[in-house]
């Protein structure tokens, strides 16, 4: 009589919907003693808000919007700086940290000996980066409330909107990291994020540019993020916000697909 080997029973914690959660748990354990490093990334946009929004804003004065309403300069740039905060948190997490794990720590080779797949790793790392972006954004919206820079109850919706920004930049950051070969490649990350920060309608409306440059700026994902957050914090809700959100969703999905495919090729060699 032949004996049939029992089939393998996959633990609930390793089933597909739960696999990415293991990446979050691992990162949480690793960051418990590094919380000061994570929190430090929140201060840069706040310093910009105080220096430019409040300091320079006292010289600029109030801004008159298209509908005739008047707004302080600090209130106008604050949502854009919040978008930049979400971008920075996600990009830092999915570039520097992931590069070390891929090239030096060899962390993912060990993870793939479990039932986890490259897609699970991609989802887990992007989700963790998104969480970091949400942390920065939630703290930033608290600063905006404290300084009276929110003009509408819709401002609370800026937090899930900032989460979407974190998803888009986190996915693209992870995908870009899979092509990096050395630490010098991170100069390219700075080369990309600084122009986005400065010229995506962060500190002044894009209509000050010539028409051809306005078209170029509208391709910037941070521009779409800033406009989405402005719509919520200023209470200027309209249909264009769906377009901004759709741009970020597509960017995040494409970045996630590329990152998963690249990780699969790298880790299965």
- Asked if 143 and 227 touch (Cβ cutoff 8 Å), the reply is no
pLDDT (0 to 100) of residue 9: 38
Q: Pick the closest to residue 198 from 70, 81, 97 (CA basis).
A: 81
**CB contact set of 220 (below 8 Å; sequence gap of 6+):** 196, 199, 200
DSSP summary character for residue 250: H
**What does the alpha-carbon distance between residue 269 and residue 109 come to, in Å, rounded to a whole number?**
10
- Structure tokens of 35? 């919380």
For tokens 């930033």, name the residue: 140
pLDDT (0 to 100) of residue 146: 83
In terms of DSSP bridges, do strands 70-72 and 62-64 run parallel, antiparallel, or are they unpaired?
antiparallel
For tokens 């993020």, name the residue: 225
- Output the CA angle 168-126-241, nearest 5 degrees: 25
Per-residue burial over 193-222, b = 16 or more CB atoms within 10 Å of its CB, e = otherwise:
beebbebbbbbeebeeeeeeeeeebeebbb
- Structure tokens of 178? 């899979």
pLDDT (0 to 100) of residue 73: 85
Sign of the Cα torsion 31, 34, 37, 40 reads positive
pLDDT (0 to 100) of residue 41: 62
**CB contact set of 229 (below 8 Å; sequence gap of 6+):** 79, 80, 82, 83, 158, 161, 162, 165
Q: Report pLDDT digits (tens) over 51-77.
A: 877 777 777 777 777 666 778 888 888
Low-confidence spans in the chain with pLDDT less than 50 = 1-17
Q: What are the sequence ranges of the domains in the chain?
A: 33-267
pLDDT (0 to 100) of residue 221: 94
pTM over 0.75: yes
**What does the alpha-carbon distance between residue 15 and residue 128 come to, in Å, rounded to a whole number?**
19
pLDDT (0 to 100) of residue 31: 66
**What does the alpha-carbon distance between residue 135 and residue 35 come to, in Å, rounded to a whole number?**
11
- Structure tokens of 133? 């972006």
- Asked if 255 and 236 touch (Cβ cutoff 8 Å), the reply is no
pLDDT (0 to 100) of residue 119: 78
């Amino acid at each position: 009589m032949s004996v049939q080997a029992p089939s393998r029973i996959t633990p609930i914690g390793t089933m597909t919907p739960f696999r990415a959660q293991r990446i979050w748990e691992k990162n949480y354990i690793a960051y418990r003693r590094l919380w000061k490093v994570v929190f430090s990334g929140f201060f840069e946009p706040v310093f910009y808000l105080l220096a430019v929004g409040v300091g320079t804003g006292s010289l600029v004065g109030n801004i008159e919007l298209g509908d005739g309403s008047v707004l302080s300069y600090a209130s106008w740039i604050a949502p854009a700086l919040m978008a930049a905060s979400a971008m920075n948190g996600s990009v830092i997490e999915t570039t520097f940290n992931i590069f070390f794990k891929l090239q030096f720590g060899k962390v993912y080779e060990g993870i793939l000996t479990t039932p986890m797949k490259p897609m699970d790793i991609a989802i887990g790392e992007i989700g963790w980066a998104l969480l970091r972006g949400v942390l920065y954004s939630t703290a930033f919206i608290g600063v905006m409330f404290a300084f009276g820079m929110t003009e509408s109850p819709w401002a609370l919706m800026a937090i899930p909107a900032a989460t979407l920004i974190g998803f888009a930049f986190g996915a693209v950051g992870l995908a870009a990291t899979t092509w990096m070969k050395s630490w010098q490649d991170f100069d390219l990350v700075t080369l990309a994020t600084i122009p986005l920060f400065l010229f995506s309608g962060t500190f002044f409306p894009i209509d000050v540019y010539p028409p051809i440059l306005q078209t170029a700026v509208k391709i910037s994902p941070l521009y779409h993020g800033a406009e989405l957050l402005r719509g919520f914090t200023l209470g200027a809700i309209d249909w264009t916000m769906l377009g901004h959100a759709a741009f970020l969703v597509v960017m995040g999905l494409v970045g996630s697909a590329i990152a998963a495919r690249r990780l699969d090729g790298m880790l299965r060699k």
